[in-house]
């Protein structure tokens, strides 16, 4: 039986990936620091972890902890990461330490103890703005919106003549446009893994996750996925806070599909490549906030549109899954509506410490929201 190490394995995506791997016959070991922002202050084993998953509590930046975790391991799924565009713009040292130094520590250990395959979690954030079509039908990589434009409340992506661009699915071939420290971290993680894997003969793939949602997301972490942040607000009878005009579009993919993508990547014979992992469908943030309020029985909680922007945010991005389907065999199975219903059932008995306003105030204080 092959043994898989999942770094960050006690977290949202890691725990679901562990379930999928154990159900497929793998022996699974988890390395996780049980960060208080995600898991709370107790540092106890999360109750949702599969009973057959071995948990080692340790930090990915700790070389000794990583070396111990790698003993007897055949495959590595590297998910350990500090997550959140907003927080990354002021907690810079911490994000670089966990995301980049942590990856370097892991790769140093793998250089000394190669494994049969490495899969690393990357992010759609590396694309910056997603791909667009101009008025003449040509495909373009839009420029980052200027501060002057955002201060005027002109939210849409524009071409040089001021005409609106049409967002289209973003393929892996789009060049990175790194607009936040977190995006820079994720690009560094995927490139470091691909470079080291190639040099040491470790077949390596990077998965660019889009907006992952589902049960087990950290509801009290104000920098986690937007659906979890909205859920924390609604559980406390407060309206979701929506930046800009709410019409920015994202790709929401269910965590069960993401876990299956991780399994496919670990079992794939393909290597030295990157793949999008999304739903291939775009939805406005405002519509998602309304949909979640409805399934949670809080339709009266109308989303509060702030008409403010955050440094590092992008307007539109959703996945082109052509390459993932043809080379990885990944096709999403969970309908958004079904996933939202499952999330609502999970939330029914959850308690959340809503930190969204506190997080926004911190960004305001630092001039990162205007």
Task: Supply the residues annotated as catalytic.
Answer: 182
- 298 contact partners, CB below 8 Å, separation of at least 6: 234, 237
d(CA 274, CA 141): 19
d(CA 187, CA 259): 21
Indicate the DSSP class of residue 72. T
DSSP labels for 246-295?
Answer: S--EE-EEEHHHHHHHHHHHHH-S--SEEEEES-S--EEHHHHHHHHHHH
Task: Look at residues 25, 31, 27, 24 and name the one whose alpha carbon lies nearest to residue 9.
Answer: 31
d(CA 242, CA 323): 32
Q: Are 268 and 328 in contact (CB under 8 A)?
A: yes
Specify the 3-state DSSP secondary structure of 32.
Answer: strand
Q: Are 325 and 273 in contact (CB under 8 A)?
A: no
Question: How far, in Å, are 17, 132, 321, 330, 332 from residue 279 at the CA level?
Answer: 17, 18, 8, 10, 6
CA angle 293, 283, 252 (to 5 degrees): 80
DSSP labels for 84-114?
Answer: -HHHHTT-HHHHIIIIIIHHHHHHHHHHHS-
Instruction: Extract the tokens encoding 119.
Output: 């899969």
Task: Look at residues 184, 193, 142, 183 and name the one whose alpha carbon lies nearest to residue 163.
Answer: 142
The CB density around residue 152, as the number of other CB atoms within 10 Å, is: 9
Partners of 241 in beta bridges: 304
Instruction: Extract the tokens encoding 19.
Output: 């379930």
């Amino acid at each position: 039986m092959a043994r898989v190490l999942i770094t960050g394995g006690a977290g949202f995506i890691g725990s679901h990936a562990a379930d999928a791997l154990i159900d497929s016959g793998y022996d699974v070991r988890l390395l996780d620091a049980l960060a208080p922002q995600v898991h709370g202050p107790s540092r106890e084993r999360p109750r949702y972890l599969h009973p057959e998953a071995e948990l080692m509590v340790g930090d990915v930046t700790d070389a000794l902890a990583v070396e111990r975790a790698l003993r007897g391991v055949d495959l590595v799924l590297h998910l350990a990461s500090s997550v959140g565009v907003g927080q990354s713009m002021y907690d810079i040292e911490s994000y670089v330490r966990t995301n980049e130094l942590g990856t370097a520590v892991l790769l140093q250990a793998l250089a000394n103890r190669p494994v049969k395959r490495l899969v690393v979690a990357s992010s759609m954030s590396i694309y910056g703005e997603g791909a667009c079509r101009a008025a003449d039908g040509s495909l373009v990589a839009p420029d980052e919106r200027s501060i002057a434009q955002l201060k005027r409340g002109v939210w849409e992506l524009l071409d040089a003549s001021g005409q609106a661009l049409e967002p289209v699915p973003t393929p892996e071939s789009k060049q990175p446009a790194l607009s936040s420290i977190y995006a820079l971290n994720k690009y560094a993680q995927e490139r470091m893994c691909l470079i080291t894997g190639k040099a040491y003969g470790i077949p390596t793939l990077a998965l660019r996750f889009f907006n992952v949602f589902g049960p087990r997301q950290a509801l009290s972490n104000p920098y986690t996925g937007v659906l979890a942040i909205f859920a924390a607000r609604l559980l406390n009878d407060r309206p979701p806070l929506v930046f800009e005009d709410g019409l920015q579009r994202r790709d929401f993919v269910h965590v069960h599909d993401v876990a299956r993508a991780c399994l496919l990547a670990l079992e794939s014979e393909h290597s030295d490549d990157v793949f999008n992992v999304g739903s291939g469908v775009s939805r406005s943030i405002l519509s998602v906030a309304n949909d979640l309020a409805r399934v949670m029985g809080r339709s009266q909680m109308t989303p509060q549109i702030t008409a403010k922007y955050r440094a590092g945010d992008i307007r539109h991005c959703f996945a082109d899954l052509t390459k993932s389907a043809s080379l990885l065999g990944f096709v999403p199975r969970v309908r958004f509506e079904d996933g939202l219903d499952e999330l609502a059932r999970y939330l029914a008995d959850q308690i959340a410490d809503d930190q969204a306003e506190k997080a926004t105030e911190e960004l305001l204080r630092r001039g990162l929201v205007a």
